[in-house]
């Protein structure tokens, strides 16, 4: 599959799988997910859905990846996300997602065999800042409503030897498709100094 260069990201990326449509211009990535697409392993019965389009690249060492994520919400669980991906049963995503109550929410999912799904907070509007950071063998997810103050959503580990690719995802588990736009993409090498400071 063709490699993708994306302004604001230091590595080449690849689609796995590819979306219905996508474009990258002026530092923004636009993605159209197809119908009934998701990345989730049900903790109840182990049923897996791994069809959502994801654009992933491999980077070394500690880093933080952030983007302003805008979603054209239409159906329950439509979302745009940042994704850490090792393999089908080891990954984590930080989502901006529409709940069944029609609320725009920051949601995180960590999958070690099966998925652990956690709703964090409601966002007023259809855009939010998301950030995924690596700190040695640990990872931190943050979200920001103003682009200045970052709220810690989740601090977790995958596996000691895990070396995940990182990137972007769009999904529409119950709908006919979902359009997501990632803007203000920023990749910064090195660890975050304090994951709870708001910086």
User: Which residues are 30's β-sheet partners?
Assistant: 23, 181
Given a contact cutoff of 8 angstroms between Cβ atoms, the answer to whether 120 and 107 are in contact is: yes
**134-144 burial code (b ≥16 CB/10 A, e <16):** bbeeebbbbbb
Which residues lie below 8 Å from residue 123, measured CB to CB, with a gap of 6+? Answer: 96, 104, 105, 106, 143, 145
Q: Hey, is 112 helix, strand or coil?
A: strand
User: Which residues are 50's β-sheet partners?
Assistant: 39
> What does R_g of the chain's alpha carbons equal in angstroms?
15
As given in the structure block, the two tokens for residue 188 are 């910064």
As a whole number of angstroms, the distance between CA 164 and CA 92 comes to: 9
- Supply the pLDDT for residue 63: 97
Across 9-13, average pLDDT: 92
- Supply the pLDDT for residue 34: 98
Mean model confidence pLDDT for the chain: 96
Q: Is the pLDDT of residue 42 over 90?
A: yes
Q: Is the pLDDT of residue 169 over 80?
A: yes
pLDDT in tens, 125-163: 999 999 999 999 999 999 999 999 999 999 999 999 899
pLDDT in tens, 57-99: 999 999 999 999 999 999 999 999 999 999 999 999 999 999 9
């Amino acid at each position: 599959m063709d490699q993708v260069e994306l302004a604001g990201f230091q590595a080449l990326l690849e689609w796995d799988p590819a979306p219905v449509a996508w474009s990258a211009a002026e530092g923004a990535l636009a993605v159209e997910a197809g119908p009934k697409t998701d990345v989730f392993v049900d903790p109840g019965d182990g049923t897996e859905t791994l069809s959502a389009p994801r654009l992933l690249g491999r980077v070394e060492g500690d880093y933080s990846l952030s983007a302003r994520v805008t979603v054209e919400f239409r159906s329950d669980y439509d979302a745009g996300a940042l994704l850490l991906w090792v393999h089908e049963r080891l990954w984590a995503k930080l989502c901006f997602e529409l709940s069944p109550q029609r609320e725009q929410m920051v949601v995180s999912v960590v999958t070690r065999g099966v998925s652990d799904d956690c709703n964090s907070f409601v966002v007023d509007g259809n855009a939010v800042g998301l950030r995924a950071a690596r700190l040695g063998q640990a990872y931190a997810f943050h979200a920001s409503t103003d682009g200045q103050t970052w709220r810690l959503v989740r601090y977790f580990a995958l596996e000691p030897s895990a070396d995940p690719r990182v990137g972007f995802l769009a999904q529409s588990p119950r709908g006919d498709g979902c359009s997501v736009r990632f803007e203000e993409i920023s990749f910064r090498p090195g660890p975050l100094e304090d994951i709870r400071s708001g910086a």
